[in-house]
Amino acid sequence: MTDTPSFPEAPDSALPPLLVRPPWAAGDGARPQAPAEPVVLKVKASKEPTTVRWAPGMREEWLNPEDELFGGKALPDDTDWAALAETFASGAALEEDPAETYRAFIALAMQAPTEYGKRLFADERYWDVVTRFDKAYHGDFKKYVAWRGHAYSSHLLYRGVAARHELDAYPFLLHGAKNRSLFHGIEPFLDAKVAQVMVKHFGEWRNGDRVRTWCELHGVDAARVTVPAALRKPGPTRRRAEELLRFVAQEHGHEAIVEAARSYGDEAAAAISALTTDPLDLYPDPLPDVPAELDPGQLPQVLLRGREHALPASATRHFITLLAIAAVDNTYPGIEPVVEALDPGSLADFAYALYVADRYTKSWASPAAGYAIVRFGDDRAADLMGPIAKRWDNWDTWNRGGTEVLSLFTRLGTPTALRHLDILAEKAADQKRLRRFAKSALERVAKERGYTTEQLADRLVPPLGLDADGTMTLDYGRRSFVVGFDEHLKPFVTDEAGKGRKTLPKPGVKDDPELAPAAYKRFAELKKGARAVASEQIKRLEQAMIGGRSWTPDEFRTIFAEHPLLRHVVRRLVWAADATAFRVAEDGTCADVHDNAFVLPEDARVTIPHPLRFDLAPWG
């Protein structure tokens, strides 16, 4: 057990219900037993006529997109629409340039009187007009660039066609929906054929949102026309149909989809009734691995918000399982309400301890420990994981998924976390993956903050715990010492009277037995950290000089002159404000080569002058 103070255990009534009786645990809360064999029924698809339903404002939005031409080019108002329509009816349009045919098609569909569009959509020869255009122009880059507005606006056309022509355009839209790239405008329509298309696309990254829109628009009616697919033989189609029914059930309830199935008979209703629709019951089966060493009795308590009560051991065990589930299924809905009920600081401590206790060998961490430290870890976790990840080789990051840990650093976004990310980008042992991925992650963070990676790195130099004046007070109990660095970054020590000492003394018998050893250790860490920072920053400053980097006066002050450690390096260098060289004195003021006070102009650019481009002889 840990040495942290013990908090009273919360009663079941105060706990998130999922941690009291989770569906994966044995007993009354266990997952309902599925039939030994799935029920398969040969249910004929509904023959009800196609209907159209619009959400408020949806049709108007589709009729009036930002691109008023629907990807085409408006024809003159005096266009002879009958003659243009005849080129399509006669088949002459099929012989023209595919782009010209496409433009004329858009005009007939969206600009001409609606009767011309009605005839156009009844002609199967033109249902693939968009596909023919894409095939013809993808092979000719110059043509494609010239007409790419057409290619990238097909979704506007299909939606506009649906809104303007409704059922007259249905055959054209249904044909397009069978193509992943043209799955547009079909959402308002409902029948068995549309249901087949929706089931096919359910869960896809490209079109899944449109299927969800269809489900939300038609609700229980969408479930009703999907039932036959959910009762067919097991396979991908049935699985997607079941997922679609579950999605509808989340909004309308389990009984609603059972009643929808009853239109196919009581046997169909009974089969759908057995379908598990509670999203909390849809956890991975089998459950992800939870190593035995992740024992609640050996881990810190997880506290509820308010920090007055802790999870009992049984609830903590369920929480670890929940973390493992969330790791392999990030859509599992049970995790968020539980996390919301728990104390963030407690979660950070728990995540740290969970990873330290973990002995998993199949991956960089067990599912629960990996998920916890990436999601809940704080700067302490970043300090733990940074050096570990730095040592990983290509096998660790490729075969054991080690690149996942980068999400910890980017999520935190603190100077500490980003310093570790910067180190991984430059020095990770795995140069092929981890170093490259870390660099990309750092570039994204820098871009989000409006910096280049070099500008971001400027702001990540650690102060090492030094005060604003570049010193640190070390407490030995009955006595204390002030430590700092000179311009050569050599450490100095003074006692309480300000008298210099050669080095920090070792703790004596009269010193505080806890404070003194900790202070002595802190000084050793400070010296080590200062050496590392100095080595790295001197290299960066050399590169800045060679590359001609510059800073605003405000950046120069905050990044360099006022930095607790870099201020010492700054005083050793000659700087330039545009064409004027200057140095920084010990009191932080600036002086020119004659030691006269120099005030940095606010519109100047500060650089490190290169000897080949600047006369530095007067500076000696």
d(CA 216, CA 214): 5
Q: 596 lies in a domain?
A: yes
pLDDT value, residue 29: 40
| Same-domain pairing of 527 and 575 | no
Residues 149 and 110 in one domain: yes
Give pairs for 289-292: CB < 8 Å, separation 24+. 289/324, 289/360, 289/362, 289/366, 289/367, 290/320, 290/321, 290/324, 290/366, 290/367, 290/368, 291/358, 291/359, 291/360, 291/366
Same domain, 323 and 439: yes
Between 279 and 378, the higher pLDDT residue: 378
Are residues 182 and 166 in contact, defined by beta-carbon separation less than 8 angstroms? no
- The vertex-343 CA angle with 339 and 349, nearest 5°, equals 100
Q: Can you read off the two tokens belonging to residue 411?
A: 């999520």
**What phi and psi, each to the nearest 5 degrees, are found at residue 591?**
-140, 150
Residue 513, preceding peptide bond in cis (omega within 30° of 0): no
User: What is the 8-class DSSP label of residue 302?
Assistant: P
Instruction: Give the contacts of 595 (CB within 8 A, at least 6 positions apart).
Output: none
Q: Mapped to the 3 state alphabet, what secondary structure does 152-181 carry?
A: CCHHHHHHHHHHHHHHHHHHHHHHHHCCHH
Give the model confidence (pLDDT) of 469-502 as tens digits. 899 999 999 999 999 998 888 999 999 999 999 9
Which of 602, 528, 606 lies closest to 573, judged by CA?
Answer: 606
One domain, residues 180 and 191: no
Based on the domain organization, do 141 and 194 belong to the same domain? no
Q: What angle do CA 241, 245, 250 make, to 5 degrees?
A: 150
Report if residue 401 sits inside a domain. Answer: yes
On the 0-12 / 13-18 / 19+ scale of CB atoms within 10 A, 168 is middle
pLDDT at 206 over 90: no
Q: What is the mean pLDDT of residues 594-606?
A: 93
Q: How confident is the model at residue 459 (pLDDT cuts 50, 70, 90)?
A: very high
Contact call for residues 424 and 433 (beta carbons, < 8 A): no
Taking only the tens place, the pLDDT of each residue in 404-446 is 999 999 999 999 999 999 999 999 999 989 999 999 999 999 9
> How does residue 588 score in pLDDT terms, banded at 50, 70 and 90?
confident
- How far apart (Å, rounded) are the C-alpha atoms in residues 149 and 16? 52
Alpha carbons within 13 angstroms on the beta-carbon side of residue 106 total 27
For residue 162, is it within any domain?
Answer: yes
Q: Which residues contact 361 (CB under 8 A, 6 or more apart)?
A: none
- Which pLDDT does position 125 carry in this prediction? 94
- Tell whether 370 and 381 lie within a shared domain: yes
Q: Is residue 73 part of a domain?
A: yes
> What is the band of 98 on the pLDDT scale with cuts at 50, 70, 90?
confident
Which tens digits make up the pLDDT trace of 75-95? 888 999 999 999 999 999 999
Residue 606 backbone dihedrals phi, psi, to 5 degrees: -90, 130
Residues in CB range of 545: below 8 A, 6 or more apart:
607, 608, 609, 610
Using alpha carbons, select from 153, 211, 75 the residue that is nearest to residue 161.
Answer: 153
Scan for tokens 């996942």, then name that residue: 404
Residue 491 shares a structural domain with residue 396: no
Q: Are 163 and 199 in contact (CB under 8 A)?
A: no
Task: Please state, in angstroms and rounded to a whole number, the distance separating the CA atoms of residues 258 and 253.
Answer: 9
**510 contacts: CB under 8 Å, gap ≥ 6:** 478
Which residue in 453, 415, 459 sits closest to 556, CA to CA? 459
Using the 3D structure, point to which of 225, 249, 280 is the last residue of a domain.
Answer: 280
Q: Are residues 369 and 503 in the same domain?
A: no
Cβ neighbours, 10 Å, residue 272: 26
| pLDDT score, position 28 | 43
* 8 A C-beta contact, residue 109 and residue 168: no
Judgement on whether residues 178 and 192 belong to the same structural domain of the protein:
no
Residue 549 has pLDDT above 80, yes or no: yes
Could you tell me the strand order of the sheet in which 472-475 lies? 472-475, 480-485, 491-494, 500-501
For residue 156, give the nearest of 272, 61, 297 by alpha carbon.
61
Distance, CA of 536 to CA of 284 (rounded, Å): 47
pLDDT digits (tens, 9 = 90+) for 24-75: 985 444 444 454 578 889 989 989 999 999 999 999 999 988 766 676 677 8
Distance of CA 275 to the CA centre of its chain: 32
Q: How many CB atoms lie within 10 A of CB 423?
A: 19
> Is residue 55 assigned to a domain?
no
- Of 470, 609, 461, 468, nearest to 535 by C-alpha is 461
Cα-based distances in Å from 257 to 226, 394, 549: 10, 50, 65
CA distance 210 to 372: 33
Q: Which of 222, 249, 280 is the last residue of a domain?
A: 280
pLDDT digits (tens, 9 = 90+) for 245-271: 999 998 999 999 999 999 999 999 999
Assigned domain for 29 exists: no
Of the candidates 530, 455, 524, 521, the residue with the CA atom closest to the CA atom of residue 487:
530
What pLDDT shows up at residue 510? 94
Which pLDDT belongs to residue 141? 55
**Which H or E run includes 52?**
strand 51-52
**In a shared domain, residues 119 and 95:** yes
Average pLDDT over residues 96-118: 91
pLDDT for 155? 84
DSSP 331-392: T-TTHHHHHHHB-HHHHHHHHHHHHHH----SSSS-HHHHHHHHHH--HHHHHHHHHHHHH-
pLDDT of 103 above 80? yes
Range of the domain at 400: 296-458
List b or e across 28-62, with b for residues whose CB sees 16 or more CB atoms inside 10 angstroms.
eeebeeeeeebeebebebbeeeeeeebeeebbeeb
* Two tokens, residue 567: 């201020």
Q: Give the C-alpha separation, 296 to 291, whole Å.
A: 12
Last residue of a domain, one of 129, 163, 184: 184
The residue behind tokens 């092979």 is 139
pLDDT computed for residue 139 by the predictor: 60
The whole model's pTM is what?
0.69
Spatial separation of the C-alpha atoms in residues 96 and 103, rounded to whole Å:
11
Q: Which helix (H) or strand (E) holds 269?
A: helix 266-273
Classified as helix, coil or strand, 576 is strand
Q: Name residues whose C-beta falls within 8 Å of residue 517's C-beta, 6 or more positions apart in sequence.
A: 507
* DSSP bridge pairs for 580: 577
Report whether pLDDT(207) > 90: no
Predicted pLDDT at 146: 53
Task: Identify the sign of the CA torsion 599, 602, 605, 608.
Answer: positive
Mean pLDDT of 309-325: 96
Cα angle 500, 504, 510 (rounded to 5 degrees) comes to 110
Let me know if residue 578 belongs to a domain: yes
Q: Please report whether residue 508 resides in a domain.
A: yes
CA 65 distance to own-chain centroid:
30
pLDDT, one tens digit per residue, over 502-516 is 999 999 999 999 999
Average pLDDT of the chain to the nearest whole number: 90
SS3 labels along 532-553: HHHHHHHHHHHHHHHHCCCECH
Do 214 and 344 fall within a single domain? no
Which of the 8 DSSP states describes residue 3?
S
Q: How many domains does the chain have?
A: 5
Question: Does 436 lie in the same domain as 334?
Answer: yes
- Residue 331 and residue 32 in contact, taking contact as beta carbons nearer than 8 Å: no
pLDDT, position 5: 65
